[in-house]
């Protein structure tokens, strides 16, 4: 048995004792680039859910820095071996920052939602905005991409998970892109506000 | 009275004075020339670094600098500081020919303070050049936009609400570095047009930089500290050219340390020459001092007379030194320009001149203090003895060695601009001199016991060596030290040059492809195969976080009161950033293990408790990792344990994708990952075709063209390599000149003795053989000892200062032993010829 497989089976089998599992599939925003793992929003969200009485939920951080929407389906195939109940899809920031074609990103996200649906895993879509310096055309289309996907697939939708955080130096690291500890708290709250009734 | 006495005596022995000045100025000229080349090289490296930053200092942030911060910044800046404000940010460019991501650089009229932009039209944009983009609604674009979108001069582009015409294409941008080779080509626009573009508003991500050109004489490092105090927010970064962190930064540091060593070695060389000649001067004056003392002169006054004399001669020696340097340096730099990539203009600067003056006027007698104090032991009775006076008589004192040690310690630190280099060098020199003294002592003793020579002059030669043990030991140490100093730089050069060597253009990437998904790999390989391209490397990349090291938490959590210092925060952010892991069977050709063992092969779960890890040694140093440490990773929700089995060094000139941590195969193979591909050198057209094909087939895969930036880095590497070669060569030349003057002085000391042999009826052949045998024995053994010790010293300096692999070469030290021996023999031979030609009486008169 290869160790990675061995560990993952051990870990995943231990999850079966927990009642419900939410995987956060994202990029560096989710990974918590620059902050400790416990300070990243998936860990904070789990805490909030538990405080709100939803103690059956375990939140798994599956953030990979630099990842694009193209990685979504492959990663889901791997992660879904642990039989999660829901997946919070927060991908697309790197597609936008790298100026990738919006139709391609949309195609990848659509494929991911369809795959999750086929696996009977509930999808929550986390929307993102592109910074205004990418121009009104591109940022407008980018925003619409999430709205269109949410509408088409009728998934639970958080329009902008970085609400109050994006663009505010107070809640971001020196790179101006990645949230700091305070920023992650707000993101966790933004998501919690939607999920507390939905989960 | 002392002045008059000193002056009168100098006039009387003017021939000796000239000899002293000539020899001393030879050594000093070597020092000044080396120093001038050193400074010129350092200036050029600094200018390169400044052109990358385009400023002396840059205050930057990923946000606007507030009015209050601006006030604080202005209060700290010295008056006369020029400022330029620039913005950099990603944006989408649209045009009739298509759209793509670009990096906007919005500049003003002061940009760039340093460095230049070479335009396709042939125009060179420097500080103060009128810029078309500032006077009309135009932009400059990188040539990639021509190849990728077909944009050219005169085409219209749209950036937000802004419509601009392309005025020119930027062929070469001195501010672009390998690291800054980003996903997007740059477009330069007028900063004042930004509000019109509508691109910068709340939520925009940009980088703002205040570029500063400081008035002359302002120390950048000190000002940086003041600015950091005035602007404590960690979001503000203040960079100097040296802190700008170019990829070759570590190697630039090595070069700078090497140049520091060159400066110290030049100093030691000239001091060695000066001390030796001064010692000769004293030994020839002992008789006069004895006479003066019988006439009532106090010892202190006698010392004063000779200090004054030596200082006057030293002062005079600086005149030919400067004359020689001014004459030879331009010729030498012209010669070098014809076969090296340099356009250096070495000049004697004030600093070098002052050090030269200190060396000439004070240095020589401070170094000779141990000999000078012998005057106190001088007995007038000696005047009536038949023996020749020697400086090696009287009580042994240790304190006179202290002032030269202190002087050289501080001068070394000053020359190297580093406490560590200076201290290390002086310590190794003290050690080496002690070793040379021991070896020399046994050599001289050996000369005394060598028997069975049939020829009388051979027997006499070896006996004479052991009888004048003090003088023989002095020349042994001087020649040995000279041989040692000569060999250090070439030895270190060999080791350091390996750092700059490039494996050949075909092994250096021209394109990098990243974000290749697992399932895209076969498709990518097919496209490459179709284009007859074999990737240089295809590295899997697995993201992970380090959770624990030897059971201790690795990540840094923020305390309730926040981070205490900027450094603490930076360290925490670095640790919490996560790591890219990769795996492969073996290390690449650009890596080598510095500690530990190679991977044992595929992971065997039934036999191994931990996966094997290979860690880049500098990363290990920064993180405090040691061989045998156990690390726990969080690989996207799964914990993996590994143990460090080796530390490895990565060669930067390979430009291959390298990773801080490599994991043994069979551990992460099934983890979610992406791939990075490095594509070898391809002709321009083929590169563009491949880029376009990849973009069409795999929209998420980004392809970065690094040809231009790699070329620039390679040029820098070549220059660095030449710098090492040049300075090692110059040091060799200087060293031989100093040794020439030492041997010449020594021979002069023996004129009286050789003359006596002549008077006693020895033939010229016998006189020559006598001195040649003595010098052949002494110079060969001294040079051999020095050269062998140089290997030891170079090895230690390399280990402590440069941490590069030591490349031992026997040819260089052995050739130097041969040259030094031949040089000594040639000078001895010429001196014996002189003695035969000269009248015996005149030599007797001159010497006695």
Would strands B638-650 and B207-213 be described as parallel, antiparallel, or unpaired?
Answer: unpaired
State the pLDDT at residue B27: 72
Instruction: Mark yes or no for CB contact B62/A175 under 8 Å.
Output: yes
**Residue B289 pLDDT > 80, yes or no?**
no
Closest CA to B37 of B348, B500, B418: B348
Average pLDDT over residues B741-762: 76
Helix (H, G, I), strand (E, B) or coil at A34: coil
Element (H, E) at B22: helix B14-53
> How distant is the Cα of B623 from the closest Cα of chain A, in angstroms?
16
A108 in active site: no
- From the list B519, B672, B699, the residue facing A104 with the nearest CB is B699
pLDDT band at B408 (very low <50, low <70, confident <90, very high): confident
* Contact list, B543 vs chain A (CB under 8 Å): 31, 64-67
Q: How confident is the model at residue B182 (pLDDT cuts 50, 70, 90)?
A: low
Percent of chain A with pLDDT over 70: 91
Shortest Cα–Cα distance, B110 to chain A (Å): 24
Distance of alpha carbon B538 from alpha carbon A126, whole angstroms = 33
- State the pLDDT at residue B841: 67
Instruction: Please indicate whether, in this complex, the C-beta atoms of A37 and B545 are within 8 angstroms of each other.
Output: yes
Residue from B637, B670, B703, B704 to probe the interface with A (highest A Cβ count within 10 Å): B637
Vertex A150 angle, CA A147 and A155, to 5°: 155
What is the Cα–Cα distance from A64 to B779, expressed in whole angstroms?
67
Q: Residue B49: its pLDDT value, please? A: 76
Which value does ipTM take for this structure? 0.86
> Are A131 and B666 inside 8 Å of each other by CB?
no
CB contact (8 A) between residue A60 and residue B637:
yes
So what's the pLDDT on residue B626? Answer: 92
Interior angle at CA B701, CA B543 and CA B575, nearest 5? 25
* Structure-model confidence comparison of residues B89 and B395, the more confident one: B89
Rounded Cα gap, residues B265 and B82, in angstroms = 39
Which of A1, A70, A173 lies at the smallest CB-CB distance from B605? A1
DSSP string, A114-166: HHHHHTT-EEEEEP----GGG-HHHHHHHHHHHHHHHHHHT-EEES-TTTTTT
Q: What is the pLDDT of residue B519?
A: 87
Predicted confidence at residue B221, as pLDDT, reads 84
With CB atoms and an 8 Å threshold, state whether B699 touches A74. no
Report the DSSP beta bridge partners of residue B169. Answer: B141
List the domain range (segments joined by +) for residue A62: 3-198
On chain B, the residues whose CB falls within 8 A of the CB of A143 are none
- CA A177, distance to chain mean position in Å, is 16
**Catalytic-role residue among A28, A62, A67, A105:** A28
Return d(Cα B385, Cα B217) in angstroms, integer: 61
Q: Judge: B543–A66 Cβ closer than 8 Å, yes or no.
A: yes
* A111–chain B nearest CA distance, Å: 14
CA distance A161 to chain B (A): 14
Q: Is A178 a known active-site residue?
A: yes
B200 to A132: CB separation less than 8 angstroms, yes or no:
yes
Count of domains in chain A? 1
Do B672 and A60 make contact, defined as CB atoms within 8 angstroms? Answer: no
Establish if B559 touches chain A: CB-CB under 8 angstroms: no
Question: Which is more confident, B834 or A25?
Answer: A25
CA-nearest residue of chain A to B89? A133
DSSP-assigned letters across all residues of B552-620: EE-SPPPPTT--SSHHHHHHHHHHTT-EEEEE-SS--TTEEEEEE----SS--TTT-SSEEEEEEHHHH
Residue B168 and residue B154: Cα distance in Å, rounded?
8
Integer Cα distance of B106 and B86 in angstroms: 6
B609 contacts on A by Cβ (under 8 Å): none
Q: Which residue of B has its CA nearest to A75?
A: B672
The answer to whether B496 touches B804, Cβ cutoff 8 Å, is yes
**Nearest chain A Cα to B66, which residue?**
A169
A46 touches A58 (CB < 8 A): yes
Rounded to whole angstroms, the Cα distance separating B182 from B447 reads 69
The pLDDT value given to residue B246: 47
| Active-site annotation holder among A62, A67, A105, A178 | A178
CA distance linking residue B263 with residue B412, whole number of Å: 8
Q: Report the mean per-residue pLDDT for chain B.
A: 82
| Closest by Cβ to A100, choosing from B62, B603, B700 | B700
Residue pair B518/A74 in contact (Cβ under 8 Å)? The answer is yes
Of A15-19, A193-197, B122-126, B545-549, where does mean pLDDT reach its minimum?
A: A15-19
**Helix, strand, coil share (%) of chain B residues, nearest 5:** 55, 15, 25
CA angle (A35, A40, A41) in 5-degree steps = 150
Query: In angstroms, rounded to a whole number, what is the distance separating the alpha carbons of residues B833 and B845?
Result: 19
In this complex, the residue of B201, B517, B558 whose CB is nearest that of residue A132 is B201
B847 has a pLDDT exceeding 70: no
**Which residues in chain B are contacts of A68 at CB distance < 8 A?**
515, 700
Closest-CA residue to B624 (of B642, B610, B597, B644):
B644
Residue A116 to chain B, least CA–CA distance (Å)? 17
Roughly how many angstroms between the first and final C-alpha of chain A, as a whole number? 36
Give the SS3 label for residue B113: coil
**Closest residue to B203, CB basis, from A33, A166, A174:** A166
Q: Is B686 left (phi over 0), alpha (psi -120 to 50) or beta?
A: alpha
Question: What pLDDT sits at residue A1?
Answer: 38
CA distance B652 to chain A (A): 23
pLDDT for residue B628: 94
| Contact between chains at B205 and A60 (C-beta distance less than 8 A) | no
CA B762 to chain centroid: 53
pLDDT confidence bin for A184, thresholds 50/70/90: very high
Q: Cβ separation of A133 and B199 shorter than 8 Å? A: yes
Of chain B residues 336-365, which have a CB less than 8 A from chain A? Answer: none
Model confidence pLDDT, tens digit, residues B32-84: 877 787 788 777 777 777 877 888 999 999 889 999 999 999 999 998 899 99
Size of interface A-B (CB pairs under 8 A): 176
Q: Which of A37, A38, A132 sits opposite B204 (nearest CB)?
A: A132
What does the alpha-carbon distance between residue B555 and residue B302 come to, in Å, rounded to a whole number?
Answer: 71
B63 touches chain A (CB under 8 A): yes
Instruction: Name the pLDDT band for A185 (thresholds 50, 70, 90).
Output: very high
Cβ–Cβ below 8 Å for B204 and A7: no
Contact at CB, B573 and A181, closer than 8 angstroms? no
Which of the four pLDDT bands, split at 50, 70 and 90, describes residue B767?
confident
**B716 or B361: which carries more pLDDT confidence?**
B361
- CB atoms under 10 Å from CB of B608, counted, come to 16
Residues in chain B closer than 8 A to A179 (CB atoms): none
**Listed ranges A112-126, B14-28, B601-615, B636-650; the one with the highest mean pLDDT:** A112-126
Rg of chain A in Å (alpha carbons):
16
pLDDT at B554: 83
* Chain B residues touching residue A75 (CB < 8 angstroms): 636, 672
Task: Calculate how close chain B gets to A16, using CA atoms only, in Å.
Answer: 15
Q: Does B100 touch chain A (CB under 8 A)?
A: yes
In chain A, how long is the greatest CA-to-CA distance?
Answer: 52
pLDDT tens digits, one per residue of B247-256:
555 666 677 7
Confidence of residue A14 (pLDDT cuts 50, 70, 90): very low
Nearest partner of B92 among B100, B80, B81, judged by Cα: B100
Q: Are A99 and A134 in contact (CB under 8 A)?
A: yes
Report pLDDT for B251.
61
Q: How far is A95 from chain B (nearest CA, A)?
A: 7
Contact (Cβ atoms closer than 8 angstroms) between residue B112 and residue B126: yes
- B 213-272 near A (Cβ less than 8 A): 234-235, 237
Q: In this structure, what CATH number is given to the domain that contains residue A71?
A: 3.40.50.1110
Looking at the complex, does the CB of residue B669 fall below 8 Å from at least one CB of chain A? Answer: yes
Nearest chain B residue (CA) to A92: B700
B 467-496 → A contacts, CB under 8 A:
none
Q: Which of A87, A131, A166, A170 to mutate to test the interface with B (most CBs of B within 10 A)?
A: A131
Cβ neighbours of B183 in A, within 8 Å: 98-99
Q: Is the pLDDT of residue A17 over 60?
A: no
What integer is the mean pLDDT of B267-290?
74
Residue B82 C-alpha, separation from nearest chain A C-alpha, in angstroms: 26
Pairing of strands B611-616, B638-650: parallel
Q: Does B512 touch chain A (CB under 8 A)?
A: no
pLDDT of residue A15: 46
CA nearest B199 in A: which residue?
A: A133
């Amino acid at each position: 048995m290869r160790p990675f497989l061995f560990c993952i089976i051990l870990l995943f089998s231990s999850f079966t004792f927990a009642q419900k599992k939410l995987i956060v599939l994202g990029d560096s925003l989710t990974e918590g680039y620059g902050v400790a793992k416990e300070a990243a929003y998936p860990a904070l969200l789990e805490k909030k859910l538990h405080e709100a009485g939803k103690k059956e939920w375990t939140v798994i951080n599956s953030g990979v820095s630099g990842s694009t929407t193209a990685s979504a389906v492959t990663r889901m195939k791997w992660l879904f071996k642990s039989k999660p109940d829901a997946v919070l899809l927060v991908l697309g920031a790197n597609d936008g920052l790298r100026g990738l074609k919006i139709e391609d990103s949309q195609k990848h996200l659509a494929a991911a939602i369809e795959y999750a649906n086929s696996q009977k895993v509930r999808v929550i879509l986390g929307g993102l905005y592109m910074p205004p310096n990418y121009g009104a055309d591109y940022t407008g289309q980018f925003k619409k991409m999430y709205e269109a996907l949410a509408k088409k697939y009728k998934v639970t939708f958080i329009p902008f998970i970085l609400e109050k955080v994006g663009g505010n130096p107070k809640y971001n690291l020196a790179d101006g892109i990645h949230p700091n500890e305070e920023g992650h708290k707000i993101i966790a709250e933004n998501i919690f506000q939607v999920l507390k009734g939905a989960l | 009275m002392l002045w008059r006495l000193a002056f009168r005596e100098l006039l009387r022995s003017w021939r000796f004075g000239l000899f002293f000045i000539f020899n001393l100025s030879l050594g000093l000229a070597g020092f000044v020339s080396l120093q001038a080349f050193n400074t010129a090289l350092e200036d050029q490296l600094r200018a390169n670094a400044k052109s990358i930053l385009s400023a002396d200092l840059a205050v930057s942030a990923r946000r606007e600098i507030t009015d209050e911060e601006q006030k604080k910044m202005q209060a700290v800046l010295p008056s006369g500081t020029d400022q330029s404000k620039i913005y950099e940010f990603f944006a989408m460019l649209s045009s009739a020919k298509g759209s793509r991501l670009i990096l906007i650089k919005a500049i003003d009229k002061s940009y760039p303070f340093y460095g230049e932009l070479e335009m396709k039209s042939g125009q060179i944009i420097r500080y103060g050049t009128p810029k078309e983009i500032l006077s009309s609604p135009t932009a400059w674009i990188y040539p990639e936009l021509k190849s990728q979108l077909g944009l050219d001069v005169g085409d219209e582009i749209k950036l937000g609400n802004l419509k601009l015409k392309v005025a020119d294409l930027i062929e070469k941008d001195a501010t672009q570095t390998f690291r800054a080779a980003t996903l997007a080509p740059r477009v330069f626009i007028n900063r004042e047009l930004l509000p019109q573009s509508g691109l910068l508003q709340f939520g925009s991500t940009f980088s703002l930089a205040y570029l500063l050109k400081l008035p002359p004489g302002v120390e950048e490092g000190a000002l940086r500290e003041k600015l950091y105090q005035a602007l404590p927010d960690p979001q503000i970064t203040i960079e100097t050219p040296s802190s700008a962190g170019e990829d070759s930064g570590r190697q630039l540091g090595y070069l700078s340390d090497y140049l520091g060593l060159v400066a110290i070695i030049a100093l030691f060389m000239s001091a060695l020459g000066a001390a030796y000649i001064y010692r000769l001067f004293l030994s020839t004056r002992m008789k006069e001092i004895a006479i003066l003392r019988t006439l009532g002169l106090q010892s202190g006054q006698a010392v004063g007379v000779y200090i004054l004399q030596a200082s006057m001669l030293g002062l005079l020696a600086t005149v030919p030194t400067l004359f020689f340097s001014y004459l030879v340096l331009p010729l030498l730099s012209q010669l070098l320009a014809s076969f090296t990539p340099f356009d250096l203009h070495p000049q004697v600067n004030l600093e070098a001149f002052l050090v030269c003056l200190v060396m000439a006027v004070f240095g020589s007698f401070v170094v000779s203090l141990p000999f000078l104090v012998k005057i106190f032991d001088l007995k007038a009775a000696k005047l009536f003895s038949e023996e020749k006076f020697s400086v090696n008589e009287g009580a042994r004192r240790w304190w006179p060695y202290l002032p030269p040690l202190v002087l050289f310690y501080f001068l070394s630190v000053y020359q190297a601009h580093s406490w560590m280099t200076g201290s290390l060098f002086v310590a190794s020199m003290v050690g080496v001199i002690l070793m040379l003294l021991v070896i020399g002592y046994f050599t001289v003793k050996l000369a005394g016991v060598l028997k069975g020579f049939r020829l009388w002059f051979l027997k006499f030669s070896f006996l004479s060596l052991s009888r004048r043990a003090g003088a023989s030991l002095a020349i042994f140490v001087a020649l040995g030290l000279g041989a040692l100093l000569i060999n250090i730089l070439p030895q270190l050069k060999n080791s350091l040059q390996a750092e700059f060597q490039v494996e050949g253009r075909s092994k250096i990437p021209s394109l990098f492809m990243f974000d290749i998904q697992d399932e895209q790999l076969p498709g990518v390989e097919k496209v490459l195969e179709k284009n007859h391209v074999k990737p240089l490397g295809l590295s899997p990349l697995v993201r992970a976080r380090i959770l624990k090291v030897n059971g201790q938490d690795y990540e840094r959590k923020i305390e309730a009161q926040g981070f205490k210092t900027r450094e603490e925060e930076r360290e925490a952010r670095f640790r919490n950033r996560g790591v890219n892991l990769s795996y492969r069977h073996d290390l690449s050709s650009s890596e080598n293990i510095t500690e530990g063992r190679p991977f044992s092969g595929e992971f065997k779960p039934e036999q191994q408790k931990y996966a094997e890890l290979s860690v880049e040694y500098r990363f290990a140093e920064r993180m405090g990792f040691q061989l045998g440490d156990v690390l726990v990773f969080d690989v996207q929700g799964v914990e993996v344990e590994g143990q460090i089995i080796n530390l490895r060094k990565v060669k930067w000139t390979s430009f291959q994708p390298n990773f801080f941590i490599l994991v043994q195969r069979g551990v992460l193979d099934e983890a979610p990952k992406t791939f990075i591909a490095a594509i070898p050198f391809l002709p321009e057209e083929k590169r563009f075709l491949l880029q376009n094909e990849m973009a069409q087939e795999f929209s998420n895969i980004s392809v970065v063209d690094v040809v231009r930036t790699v070329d620039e880095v390679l040029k820098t590497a070549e220059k660095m390599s030449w710098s090492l070669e040049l300075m090692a060569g110059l040091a060799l030349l200087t060293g031989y000149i100093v040794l020439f003057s030492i041997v010449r002085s020594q021979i002069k000391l023996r004129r009286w003795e050789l003359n006596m042999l002549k008077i006693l009826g020895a033939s010229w052949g016998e006189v020559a053989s006598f001195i040649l045998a003595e010098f052949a024995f002494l110079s060969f053994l001294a040079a051999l000892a020095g050269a062998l010790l140089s290997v030891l010293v170079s090895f230690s300096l390399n280990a402590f200062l440069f941490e590069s692999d030591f490349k031992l070469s026997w040819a260089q030290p052995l050739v130097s032993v041969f040259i030094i021996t031949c040089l000594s023999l040639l000078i001895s031979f010429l001196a014996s010829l002189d003695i035969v030609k000269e009248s015996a009486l005149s030599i007797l008169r001159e010497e006695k």
